[in-house]
Amino acid sequence: MRLCLTLSLCLLYFCTCGQKEKNHYIDPDKLSWDDYTGKIDSSHNYTAYTFSTIAINYKRTNGLLDSVYVWVRFINDSSYVKRDALAMLPESRKAYLFNHEKNHYLISIIYAKTLKKYIDQNLKMTDSAIGNLLNSYNFFSENNQLKYDDETNHALNTIAQMKWDSDLSNKMMQLKDEILEEYKQ
């Protein structure tokens, strides 16, 4: 029995070892085009598309929030890149496009860190208040990403892109002490 269990665990390890985990938090410095595995949406004329969402998990101790986890789930199945179009671009343009897409993810991370900071300062919130906040922060993140695409014209406006790059970098620096942790069961 023990041998069978050991073999099963080894087989499970080797079968999953080379596979990337899907729809989870990815350190933005480790995000790559390989994470973009979603089906291309033919209704969009975009070379790439990034989708992420804020998630939360928490427990309560004596009525107060405890063990609060806030993270951003990068949704691999909905994030895509047109690899044939990408292959035709020079390396500098690929890097520029990736930076633009990564910024979409950073916007979600900024909103998640801001949410975490707010919750940490308001540990008496009700479950419904937390649910409402989570919905609001996801809504704000999505709207800010639409604004980002509008102002940068999907990265075609290089001056606006540089401004957003700088602003997002500054916001990430301001929130560097806010750590996002994915809840693992």
Six-digit token pair at 58?
A: 């928490």
User: Is 16 contained in some domain?
Assistant: no
Domain ranges, residue 58: 22-174
| Backbone φ, ψ for residue 23 (5° rounding) | 55, 55
In this prediction, residue 6 carries a pLDDT of 30
User: Is 135 contained in some domain?
Assistant: yes
Q: Are 45 and 155 in contact (CB under 8 A)?
A: no
* Number of domains composing the chain: 1
In this prediction, residue 20 carries a pLDDT of 54
Structure pTM?
0.86
In this prediction, residue 21 carries a pLDDT of 61
10-residue mean pLDDT profile of the chain (185 residues): values are 32 38 87 97 92 95 92 96 96 98 98 95 95 98 98 97 98 89 66
Q: How far apart are the first and last CA of the chain?
A: 26
User: Is 4 contained in some domain?
Assistant: no
Rounded to the nearest 10°, the torsion over CA 154, 43, 144, 178 is -100
Q: What is the 3-state secondary structure (H, E, C) of 66-133?
A: EEEEEEEEECHHHCEECHHHHHCCCHHHHHHHHHHHHHHHHHHHHHHHHHHHHHHCCCCCCHHHHHHH
